[in-house]
Homo-oligomer: A and B are copies of this chain.
Amino acid sequence: MSEMKENVIIGIDLGGTGIKIGIVNAEYEILAQTTIPTHGERPFEQVIADMGLAAKKLLEESGYEVNDCLGIGVGSPGTIDSKNGVVLYSNNIRWDNVPLAEELYKYLAVPIYVNNDANCAALGETVKGAAKGCDSAVFLTLGTGVGGGVVINGRIFEGGHPGGAELGHIRISSEGRKCTCGREDCLEAYASATALIDDARTMVQRFPGSMLWQLCGRDTDLMNAKMPFDAAEAGDPCGQALVERYIQYLADGITDLANIFRPDIIVLGGGICAQGEKLTGPLNRYLNDNCFGASVSYVPKVVTAQNGNGAGIIGAAALVGTALRTAM
């Protein structure tokens, strides 16, 4: 008779360049993890075979059997049919109607749940992170683009059809900035790290006397999203103007989302969140003043994400935990 082992969950963060695989316990602590290259240009069967075999190997090397594993959660970029575990479309891995859950099941015959990676990150922050214990949360990740996820009643809000909750693609201005989605003036075109870096490049070209010019080593290709904040902190007027405007754009988007979802909490992810209170302080002040019916209704607090590098694995694993909880 085999020894009783604790149950574990496998969380998989499928990215354009790498696939992160982790094993978590009931407290969503990462017990073991590995990363393999995606090589998304191959047939999807090969990508998923690598994923499945690597997950199985990690499980066994960590001293667990397949029977110890409650299930696998996979966070994937793109538009997902979560009911059937199908990646309908992912520009990132160039997948089109890939039956991810069905294919992965060939390697690990356990319950498999697939959802959008930003949705997973949102859920992950509610099970272990900045929104722990919250029943509802809006999550915005500020990176190359602006991704979003929403949790309502402890579950991922997916809208009526796959492809909902595209929170980065709401219009917040009329300056005419082109968005990657083809439309103009989406939140993503103003509040992504990419947008802030572009703005900083424009600023430094007009005002080469700005401290930003030193910070980026006189090479705008080396500009990053931290530099405007550093310059602002050091009293540079260009840096201050950039940060102030960036936060205003973000505040506009966040207020829209608060008016629509009225969540317990709004969680910001992405590298820019290292700015902490410098970012959340003014955002909370704006929201308290401008959220609809702020004086008579609940106003959510804006905080930064806490799951860091583990966010992808924890968020994906949370799909299984949530399915368990809501099955009862």
Interface size class of A (residues with CB under 8 A): 35 or more
- Contact A166-B298, Cβ < 8 Å, known A135-B160, A260-B260: no
Please give me the residue from chain B that is nearest to A97 by CB atom.
B296
Whether the pair B159, A79 counts as a contact (CB closer than 8 A) is no
- Give A139 Cβ to nearest chain B Cβ, in Å: 13
Contact for A163 among B89, B167, B174, B292, CB less than 8 A: B292
Residue numbers in B under 8 Å from A159 (CB-CB): 136, 152, 260-263
Within 8 A of B (CB), among A250-280: 252-253, 255-256, 259-264
Residue numbers in B under 8 Å from A171 (CB-CB): 171-173, 252-253, 255-256
Residue numbers in B under 8 Å from A166 (CB-CB): 259-260, 292-293
A290 lies within 8 A of chain B by Cβ: yes
Please give me the residue from chain B that is nearest to A181 by CB atom.
B292
- Give A299 Cβ to nearest chain B Cβ, in Å: 9
Residue numbers in B under 8 Å from A183 (CB-CB): 255, 290, 292
- Give A82 Cβ to nearest chain B Cβ, in Å: 13
Residue numbers in B under 8 Å from A169 (CB-CB): 256, 259, 292
Whether the pair B298, A163 counts as a contact (CB closer than 8 A) is yes
1/0 contact string of A291-311 vs chain B (CB within 8 Å)? 011001110100000000000
A170 lies within 8 A of chain B by Cβ: yes
Whether the pair B164, A260 counts as a contact (CB closer than 8 A) is yes
* Majority DSSP secondary structure for residues of A touching B: loop
Within 8 A of B (CB), among A160-186: 160-167, 169-175, 181-183
Whether the pair B262, A297 counts as a contact (CB closer than 8 A) is no
A88 lies within 8 A of chain B by Cβ: yes
Residue numbers in B under 8 Å from A297 (CB-CB): 79, 88-89, 161-163
Whether the pair A164, B255 counts as a contact (CB closer than 8 A) is no
- Give A218 Cβ to nearest chain B Cβ, in Å: 33
Whether the pair A160, B136 counts as a contact (CB closer than 8 A) is yes
21 residue pairs bridging A and B, Cβ less than 8 Å apart: A96-B296, A135-B160, A159-B261, A160-B300, A161-B300, A166-B292, A166-B293, A169-B259, A169-B292, A170-B256, A171-B172, A171-B173, A171-B255, A171-B256, A174-B174, A181-B292, A181-B293, A182-B290, A183-B255, A183-B292, A256-B256
With contacts A88-B297, A160-B264 known, what are 17 further pairs, Cβ within 8 A?
A79-B297, A88-B296, A136-B159, A136-B161, A159-B260, A161-B263, A161-B297, A161-B300, A163-B262, A163-B296, A164-B260, A165-B262, A170-B170, A171-B252, A171-B255, A173-B174, A183-B292
